[in-house]
Structure 1
């Protein structure tokens, strides 16, 4: 089994290089989506400043909670609701440095201060989103979104239900 090791003093680029290599190794040869998303959530939770990391799956019109690491989470998010719903509707990554300033933010965790959400898309089909929260303001930036978009492409290639 591959382990996820964050080198001391590593910058974000080095951290994400290790994350993507670990993600690829973890999912290689494993056909079970839940197992893969669970392991990937565990890796994402180790990123600097992350207080919650997980996946929401597109089920019908809603985003439904998938594997995650952190405090209890909202189970179902309606179309276009909150940061997750907005990222899903726009089919683009959203970086929110101050969640309290985001119109319609859903406060699943009252301690959350910043968030990044990246849609998982295969072709024209929205499969879900990657969602990371932090209890630190402005913990995420466009570099995080860029690297997480690469992870989302890997996740989109997994065996999702029809």
Structure 2
């Protein structure tokens, strides 16, 4: 049988723990939203433009990862928050490309926006887009990004807007 003091103690401890957990600022931080609408556009036989829409909320930068299959090594680049596209200049139309774009804010990262570009499918005209681009999501309005980043031998170079 519980005494009145023990009943108060049994009720007080869980309330104190709940208050402590709910006041912990590290748990209250929101997650970083992921970038949206990954798109691909072949610019030439050696250039592939990859673009995305910025996520909702603030980000500091993007982590852009890509790998060509078969046999390619993963390449990684940090993209400024104002840029939402990268121009891959070592593009090979006979390979498939796996792309991951991650939004970064401080030490936090979003879940990756992932896409796969199959050049052979686009080259044969099996896609439903006439401009060679393959959007990952069709619900967002179409609009070209303003700036681009160029990857050439692992070096990032700024390039003007593509027409």
TM-score between both structures, scaled by the size of structure 2: 0.28
**Which protein has the bigger helix share?**
1
Structure showing the higher strand proportion among its residues: 2
Structure number with greater Rg is: 2
